[in-house]
Amino acid sequence: MAVEDLDRSRANILVYAHRDDTEWHECAALAMTGLAQGRKPWAIRWPSVDEFLAIVTHTRIYDPPSTIRRATDQVEAWLGSPSAVLVGDAVDHWRSVKHMLVQGKIRGPMVHDAQVAAICLPDDIYEFWTSAWDFSRFPRLVTRNPLLA
Protein backbone atom coordinates (compact mmCIF):
# COMPACT_ATOMS: atom_id res chain seq x y z
CA MET A 1 0.00 0.00 0.00
CA ALA A 2 1.28 3.50 -0.74
CA VAL A 3 0.92 6.33 1.74
CA GLU A 4 1.44 10.04 1.30
CA ASP A 5 3.54 12.23 3.58
CA LEU A 6 2.19 15.60 4.46
CA ASP A 7 3.46 16.41 7.94
CA ARG A 8 7.11 16.75 7.07
CA SER A 9 7.26 19.10 4.16
CA ARG A 10 4.86 21.68 5.42
CA ALA A 11 2.58 20.60 2.89
CA ASN A 12 3.72 18.36 0.24
CA ILE A 13 1.61 16.30 -2.09
CA LEU A 14 -1.90 16.69 -0.65
CA VAL A 15 -1.61 20.47 -0.47
CA TYR A 16 -0.13 20.67 -3.95
CA ALA A 17 -2.94 18.49 -5.31
CA HIS A 18 -5.56 20.69 -3.66
CA ARG A 19 -4.15 24.17 -4.33
CA ASP A 20 -4.06 25.03 -8.02
CA ASP A 21 -1.88 28.04 -7.23
CA THR A 22 1.12 25.88 -6.29
CA GLU A 23 4.03 25.09 -8.58
CA TRP A 24 3.52 21.32 -8.25
CA HIS A 25 -0.29 21.30 -8.57
CA GLU A 26 -0.59 19.50 -11.89
CA CYS A 27 1.84 16.69 -11.00
CA ALA A 28 0.38 16.22 -7.52
CA ALA A 29 -3.23 16.30 -8.75
CA LEU A 30 -2.44 13.65 -11.38
CA ALA A 31 -0.69 11.47 -8.80
CA MET A 32 -3.56 11.71 -6.32
CA THR A 33 -6.15 11.10 -9.03
CA GLY A 34 -4.23 8.02 -10.09
CA LEU A 35 -4.33 6.68 -6.54
CA ALA A 36 -7.97 7.55 -5.96
CA GLN A 37 -9.14 6.01 -9.23
CA GLY A 38 -6.88 2.98 -8.99
CA ARG A 39 -7.70 -0.41 -7.58
CA LYS A 40 -4.62 -0.83 -5.40
CA PRO A 41 -5.10 0.10 -1.73
CA TRP A 42 -3.49 3.36 -0.69
CA ALA A 43 -3.44 5.26 2.58
CA ILE A 44 -3.37 8.69 4.11
CA ARG A 45 -2.07 9.05 7.65
CA TRP A 46 -4.37 10.84 10.13
CA PRO A 47 -1.58 13.33 10.96
CA SER A 48 -1.42 14.19 7.25
CA VAL A 49 -5.11 15.07 7.18
CA ASP A 50 -4.66 17.36 10.19
CA GLU A 51 -1.63 19.08 8.69
CA PHE A 52 -3.32 19.45 5.30
CA LEU A 53 -6.32 21.20 6.87
CA ALA A 54 -4.10 23.45 8.99
CA ILE A 55 -1.99 24.52 6.03
CA VAL A 56 -4.56 25.12 3.29
CA THR A 57 -6.83 27.14 5.60
CA HIS A 58 -4.00 29.21 7.13
CA THR A 59 -4.25 32.92 6.33
CA ARG A 60 -0.49 33.48 6.65
CA ILE A 61 0.30 30.75 4.14
CA TYR A 62 -2.34 31.36 1.46
CA ASP A 63 -4.10 34.55 0.39
CA PRO A 64 -6.86 33.67 0.11
CA PRO A 65 -6.75 30.42 2.08
CA SER A 66 -9.03 27.53 1.22
CA THR A 67 -12.29 27.65 3.10
CA ILE A 68 -12.75 24.92 5.68
CA ARG A 69 -15.70 23.65 3.61
CA ARG A 70 -13.57 23.36 0.47
CA ALA A 71 -10.72 21.72 2.40
CA THR A 72 -12.94 19.19 4.17
CA ASP A 73 -14.74 18.43 0.90
CA GLN A 74 -11.32 17.67 -0.61
CA VAL A 75 -10.48 15.25 2.21
CA GLU A 76 -13.85 13.56 1.79
CA ALA A 77 -13.26 13.23 -1.95
CA TRP A 78 -9.93 11.46 -1.34
CA LEU A 79 -11.43 9.26 1.35
CA GLY A 80 -14.34 8.50 -0.94
CA SER A 81 -12.00 6.40 -3.06
CA PRO A 82 -12.95 2.75 -2.53
CA SER A 83 -9.28 1.85 -2.25
CA ALA A 84 -8.35 4.56 0.32
CA VAL A 85 -7.46 3.68 3.91
CA LEU A 86 -6.71 5.95 6.88
CA VAL A 87 -3.80 4.87 9.07
CA GLY A 88 -2.65 6.10 12.45
CA ASP A 89 -1.01 5.02 15.67
CA ALA A 90 -1.52 1.36 16.51
CA VAL A 91 -2.13 0.07 20.03
CA ASP A 92 1.53 -0.95 20.29
CA HIS A 93 2.79 2.24 18.61
CA TRP A 94 5.35 2.98 21.31
CA ARG A 95 7.01 -0.41 20.83
CA SER A 96 7.27 0.22 17.08
CA VAL A 97 8.60 3.76 17.58
CA LYS A 98 11.20 2.59 20.09
CA HIS A 99 12.34 -0.15 17.71
CA MET A 100 12.69 2.38 14.86
CA LEU A 101 14.58 4.83 17.09
CA VAL A 102 17.05 2.23 18.33
CA GLN A 103 17.47 0.36 15.05
CA GLY A 104 17.99 3.56 13.04
CA LYS A 105 20.18 5.24 15.69
CA ILE A 106 17.79 8.17 15.54
CA ARG A 107 18.07 11.49 17.32
CA GLY A 108 16.93 15.07 16.94
CA PRO A 109 14.73 15.95 13.98
CA MET A 110 14.75 12.40 12.65
CA VAL A 111 12.52 11.31 15.55
CA HIS A 112 9.57 12.38 13.40
CA ASP A 113 10.79 10.07 10.63
CA ALA A 114 10.80 7.16 13.09
CA GLN A 115 7.21 8.03 14.00
CA VAL A 116 6.24 7.91 10.33
CA ALA A 117 7.97 4.56 9.80
CA ALA A 118 6.34 3.18 12.95
CA ILE A 119 2.89 4.06 11.59
CA CYS A 120 3.52 2.77 8.08
CA LEU A 121 5.40 -0.49 8.49
CA PRO A 122 2.98 -2.34 10.80
CA ASP A 123 0.15 -1.53 8.36
CA ASP A 124 2.00 -3.17 5.44
CA ILE A 125 2.63 0.14 3.74
CA TYR A 126 5.50 -0.60 1.38
CA GLU A 127 5.89 2.75 -0.35
CA PHE A 128 5.91 6.19 1.22
CA TRP A 129 5.25 9.20 -0.98
CA THR A 130 7.16 12.30 0.00
CA SER A 131 8.72 15.20 -1.83
CA ALA A 132 11.20 16.28 0.76
CA TRP A 133 12.71 13.75 3.12
CA ASP A 134 15.23 10.94 3.42
CA PHE A 135 14.04 7.75 5.09
CA SER A 136 17.14 5.69 4.29
CA ARG A 137 17.52 4.72 7.96
CA PHE A 138 14.35 2.66 7.51
CA PRO A 139 15.21 0.44 4.51
CA ARG A 140 11.92 -1.49 4.65
CA LEU A 141 10.05 1.76 3.92
CA VAL A 142 10.63 2.60 0.28
CA THR A 143 10.15 6.27 -0.56
CA ARG A 144 9.10 7.83 -3.83
CA ASN A 145 8.55 11.39 -4.95
CA PRO A 146 5.57 11.28 -7.36
CA LEU A 147 6.25 14.88 -8.38
CA LEU A 148 9.41 13.87 -10.21
CA ALA A 149 9.32 11.90 -13.44
User: DSSP code of 122?
Assistant: G
Where are the domains positioned within the chain? 2-144
Cα 56 from chain centroid? 15
Predicted model pTM: 0.78
pLDDT, tens digit only, all 149 positions of the chain: 444 444 444 348 999 999 999 999 999 999 999 999 999 989 888 888 888 999 999 999 999 999 999 999 999 999 999 999 888 887 888 998 898 899 888 888 788 888 888 888 776 777 888 876 667 788 888 888 888 86
Residue 1: Cβ-neighbour burial (10 angstroms; 0-12, 13-18, 19+)? middle
Its sign, for the CA torsion 74, 38, 12, 149, is: negative
CATH of domain 2-144: 3.40.50.1010
Q: What share of the chain is helix, strand, coil (3-state, %, to 5)?
A: 45, 10, 40
